[in-house]
Amino acid sequence: MLGLIIERAFHLDALERDYQNLQQQKPLHGVIATSPQMQAVMRMVEKIAPTQATVLLLGESGTGKELLARALHRLSTRSEQPFVAVNCAAIPETLLESELFGYEKGAFTGAVAQTKGKIEYAQGGTFFLDEIGDLPFALQAKLLRFIQERVIERLGGRKEIPIDVRIICATHRKLPDLIDQGTFRGDLYYRLSEIVVDIPPLREREGDVTTIANSLLQRYCRENNLKEKHFSHDAAQAMEAYHWPGNIREMENKIKRATILSDGNFVTAADLEIGQPAENTMPLNLKSVREAAETVAIKRALSYADNNVSEAAKLLGVTRPTLYGLFEKYGLQGLVRNHSED
């Protein structure tokens, strides 16, 4: 019983630190993240947002590619202009061309009026092509010409229409593999990938599972007019141990359902339907817990300080010599070589 109490105290303390770190940051609107992996992605987004570079967002389904695309638009000089998104996998191939480029009256049976395409509606703003890896091969040449020349022709039309948009694309597929298979144009890939942003899956984001889960739980309580709820000890363990193959989208689904159906003030692992955690998911040995927590804190501090050792030491509340001692203690000397001191 004493071990369980101590373990829970450490767990609650870690949640509180995560929450404080989140409050101290100025994250991109709608993006919840405390992990070094996502902090690096967010800094990259902030740097490239004001530019006109074409961006390719890569990541598994459910990792938040459209959320980051919208953040790129919101932080850009085009933020007051339209953000238009098209999912290449959701529109039948026979309709996709007219959806993108529009058509003239009489271009085909049923074309009773001139109609603008999605690209035209994005004029002056940002055009987001989601699941670009599913774009039919026959359309890729036409998209490539648009990207190169920044002009389009509607179906059935002969007039070239100049278009000024910032292009962002996303896919969960490996485009180089599709190029090798002959289903994706290499020249289009190089046009789209001026800047590539790799979004890590949820299972690789240190500390983000708990932070995002708690944020979602409180949100769903508010949206459904429920009393404030918390995750039980076994639920927290189970979420940390779970692989999350569907990433954040899966987490949203499971937590929303559990929030509504759970009894009492706690959401359990059974409510989440992700199985019971292994007994050794969280260590009980206080030395192991402390060492693991300090290692994660050091890595996060370096990430928050943008690779500045002196600033990281201030964030951690220690002197620079003490921080170097911690690098040696935990075998993190490799991190020091690539970080600045001033």
Q: pLDDT tens digit string along 43-100? A: 999 999 999 999 999 999 999 999 999 999 999 999 999 999 999 999 998 899 999 9
pTM higher than 0.95: no
Q: Is 202 exposed, middle or buried (0-12, 13-18, 19+ CB in 10 A)?
A: buried
Of 126-130, 184-188, 269-273, the one with minimum mean pLDDT is 269-273
pLDDT of residue 300: 78
Strands 166-171 and 195-198: unpaired
pLDDT of residue 15: 56
- What value does the mean pLDDT of the chain take? 86
Nearest CA to 184 among 229, 253, 133? Answer: 133
pLDDT, mean of residues 172-184: 96
The rounded distance, in Å, linking the Cα atoms of 91 and 98 is 11
Strand order in the sheet with 83-87: 83-87, 126-130, 166-171, 55-58, 195-198
pLDDT of residue 130: 97
155 bridge partner residues: 103
pLDDT interval class at 17 (50, 70, 90)? low
